[in-house]
Every structure is written in C-alpha cells, then in structure tokens.
Amino acid sequence: MFSKILIANRGEIAARIIRTCQRFNIKTAAVFSEADQDAPYVQQADESYLIGKPRVNESYLNVEKIIKAAKESGAEAIHPGYGLLSENAAFAERVKQEGLTFIGPSAEVIAEMGDKIAARNVMKAAGVPVVPGTMEAVENVTEAKNIAEEIGYPVMVKAAAGGGGIGMQSVSSNEELAKAFESNQKRAKTFFGDGKMFIEKQIINPRHIEIQVLADHHGHALHLFERECSIQRRHQKVIEEAPSPFLSEETRKKMGDSALQAVQTLGYTNAGTIEFLVDENENFYFLEMNTRLQVEHPVTEEITGIDLVEQQLRVAAGEALSFSQNDLVINGHAIEARIYAEDSNTFYPSPGQLTKLSLPEDPGLRHELAVHSNSFVSPFYDPMIAKLIVHGESREAAVQKLTAALHQYEIEGIKSNITMLKRIVTNEHYLQGHTTTSFIQDYYLPAISKS
C-alpha cells in the first residue's frame, strides 16, 4: 500500500477516499478551490492545497496545479475519484510521466473506452452484445437519416465523447433527427471538444443495469454482481440498488461473464463498471464502460462487504486480489438515494446557505456527505450534497428503512429533492420493482402535475 496519496477531487467522494485511507494509516493530501475552502473534506485530509478559483477549469481541471500539489505533498499516487479528471487519459498519462501512480486503469484503456464508438467496436469484438447501430462516426444529418431509416425509429443520437447524459437524445422522425443531430453535436463540441456523433437503435422501456468489475496486474479479474440504476432524471441516476429486483440468476451470470470477457479483452486493471441496457425479456446490450469508481459504489460494498476504494489502492500498489469469484456472495439488499440541492419539481439546482442538516442515525444507514450544517452549497459544482445508503435483509426491508430515513432527513435553507425521493420510493410501481429508465417520466412527473 502507499504511504501518502493525493486526491484530485472534491466533496463526498474525497471524504469517502480519506476515510478508507485513514483505516490503513495512509496520509492524504486534498486539493480545493476558493469555493471549497470550508468543505469538510479539506479539514479531514492530513494536508490541503488551494489550487485556484471556483470554476473547475481554474482548479479541479487544472492539471499543472494538481501535479504541483502532488509533488509538494510528497504523495506517491493520485486518486481521481469520479467525474472531473477521472476519465481523462491525458491526465492519467501525465501522472505516470511524473513518476506517480494513477489509481485507475491505463491511459490507453481510458482513451479507448472514453470514445463510445471505439468502445462499441471493442465490445463487439469481445463477443459482448451491443445495441444495433453505427460502428463509426456519422458525418452529417443526411447520413444520420439514412441510418435511422434503415434500423428503424425511435433511435438515440449520441456524442462519441459524451457522458452524464450530455450530447444524447431520443428521436422518432427525420424532422426530430435533423434538429437533434445538429444541437447535440454543438453541445458535444462545447463540453467535450469532440463533435463526433453516432446512432443507436433505442431499446424501448429498458433498465439500466451495470456490473462492477475488479482486476489486478497479475491476471486476476472478477465481478461484484450488478447494480440497478434505472431511476434517472435527465439521463442522470437518482436511486440505485443492488442486486437488481428484475434479473434472473441465469441473466445475472450471463451479464457477469460478459463483463469479464470485456475486462480480459481490454487487459483492464483496477475498478471499473460495464453498463448495460436490459430489455423486458432480459436481453442485455453494452451501453458504455466507466473506467473509474462510480457514485453508486456503496451499494455494491454493502452487499459484498468489499471496500472498493481499498481494492483500488491495493491493485494500484501492485498487490494481487486476495479473494476469488467463488468467495463473493450477495448479502441482502442495498439502496442508495442521491440527495441533491435542487427543486423536486423542476430539477433546477438550488445553491445557497445550508442552515440545517440533520441526519437519521438508525442501524443499517450509511451517509456519504459533501457538506455539513452552515455549509454554502456552491453553484459552480454538481448539486449533490449527500448520499443516503441503506442495507436490509431483503429489498422490502431496505425500502422500508430508506422510506423511514428520508422522512427523518432534515434540510433547511435550500431546496432539496427529498420530496421527490419520498414519492418515488412509496410509488407502487417502485415497490413492485418496475423500475425502467422512463420511471420518472411515466410515474413521478404525472403524479406531481396532479398534486
């Protein structure tokens, strides 16, 4: 293991990484912007470095300042967390060039999986099912229309370099396609510096189910089962659970085997996630690979007893995985709810002074926090302020714990999505496990429009 690492991230994930490091007496160096100087993780780290002004391009995306902080701190490795620079291949390569260890996969694999078109081709070659669609970039609207007509509407227009729901849109006609192609291409150029687009057949009423994988540098690879992440707003996850209430044991095994096929084909190392769309008949199709730790990783930790951050550190330090696939079993059920500073009706962010944050403390609850009472929730970053994770012997028990905890959660001074979360987890369709990616559009939004 390392003696000191630098965390190139902020908020709850920085605090999460620090907690595991403290368990193993690994010193931590944090970086922070002017907007985060009073954030909890800054005080929790052994040392902290101011790296710039609030905007991410002046701080958390400033590679030179992060490398400088790592050098000054004497850190041996850099953990990128999720988001920000976590899937930036150039950053991973730069860390290596500086003689530091990047806690994640190789720069080459990050680059390959970061290009959605390249990823589709790799997965198809590995024998992993992919959604019907283009295997290379679509040059213009005319070509896009021809492809869409060939595979049949509805289709998804997607940015090859996209992520977080940016640069993707469902369309059902040539007219919609023309508008969507051009507007999303512009967005992709703005957000990712890459306007390459591709077209996929839209899977109707799918579930979003992902497989957590781990692989070391000694040829060992395994999966830690699946996470159901279908409850989403604007293509971003809101509630995740493990295991999926939908999958049969047969499909669970098939998906796990496919994920390991992908890992072995790539020569992947460290933690990663293979994301799939699953239709109503349990046919599954590769969606994308996230070459990093996921926001929702705690639910996997809760059902397996495996600390994924610990495993990331051990693998990056050159250790072999100390357990095998046969050692892993699913223990109970876990659910994570993301607590956002946003309006429950419009989903608009609600930055400002958090005057009160009171958390339920019942057994079986876990809190991952980015803030505390009297924190200022900045408009410069993602509005997620906390994650509430529950574990129960069954899905029913976990849902009951989550519902009770959400009713005890107190947030004052800013708006939050607590009301939305309470509505979702008490909805009869959610209780029955009917959680497709259109859940919020089908059940939540119609319900609030009537209230």
Our answer to whether residue 292 is catalytic in this structure is: yes
**E strands present in 112-196:** 155-163, 166-171
Using one digit for the tens of pLDDT, what is the confidence trace for 103-146? 999 999 999 999 888 999 999 999 999 988 888 888 889 999 99
pLDDT score at 177: 92
**Helix (H) or strand (E) segment spanning residue 240:** strand 236-242
Report d(CA 429, CA 425) in Å as an integer: 9
The residue type of 441 is: Q
What the chain holds in terms of domains, given with CATH numbers, is 4-103 (3.40.50.20), 132-201 (3.30.1490.20), 207-450 (3.30.470.20)
pLDDT score at 137: 87
For residue 334, is pLDDT > 80?
yes
Contact at 8 Å (CB) between 116 and 161? yes
Q: Where are the alpha helices (DSSP H) in 287-388?
A: 297-304, 308-316
Contact at 8 Å (CB) between 366 and 302? yes
Structure tokens at 180: 């969507």
**E strands present in 22-61:** 27-33, 47-52
Q: Check 120, 292, 395, 423 and give the catalytic one.
A: 292
For residue 163, is pLDDT > 90?
no
Structure tokens at 273: 């996630």
pLDDT score at 291: 97
Report d(CA 261, CA 437) in Å as an integer: 26
Q: Which residues contact 250 (CB under 8 A, 6 or more apart)?
A: none
For residue 35, is pLDDT > 90?
yes
Q: What percent of the chain has pLDDT over 70?
A: 99
Binned at pLDDT 50, 70 and 90, residue 447 comes out as confident
Angle, CA 402 vertex, CA 382 and CA 381 arms, to 5° = 5
Class of residue 229 by CB neighbours under 10 A (exposed 0-12, middle 13-18, buried 19+): buried
Compute the average pLDDT of residues 313-337.
Answer: 98
* Least confidently predicted of 44-48, 96-100, 170-174: 170-174
Structure tokens at 346: 């419009």
State the chain's mean pLDDT as an integer.
94
For residue 451, is pLDDT > 70?
no
Which of 43-47, 342-346, 374-378 holds the top average pLDDT?
A: 43-47
Q: Which residues contact 105 (CB under 8 A, 6 or more apart)?
A: 92, 268, 269, 270, 272, 291
Using one digit for the tens of pLDDT, what is the confidence trace for 192-221? 888 888 899 999 889 999 999 999 999 999
* Least confidently predicted of 51-55, 159-163, 417-421: 159-163
Contact at 8 Å (CB) between 5 and 21? yes
Using one digit for the tens of pLDDT, what is the confidence trace for 221-270? 999 999 999 999 888 899 999 999 999 999 999 999 999 999 999 999 99
Q: Which residues contact 167 (CB under 8 A, 6 or more apart)?
A: 158, 159, 161, 184, 185, 187, 188, 191, 192, 197
Binned at pLDDT 50, 70 and 90, residue 319 comes out as very high
Q: Which residue has the tokens 């550190």?
A: 313
Using one digit for the tens of pLDDT, what is the confidence trace for 37-94? 999 999 999 999 999 999 999 999 999 999 999 999 999 999 999 999 999 999 999 9
pLDDT score at 164: 66
Of residues 335 and 150, which shows the higher confidence score? Answer: 335
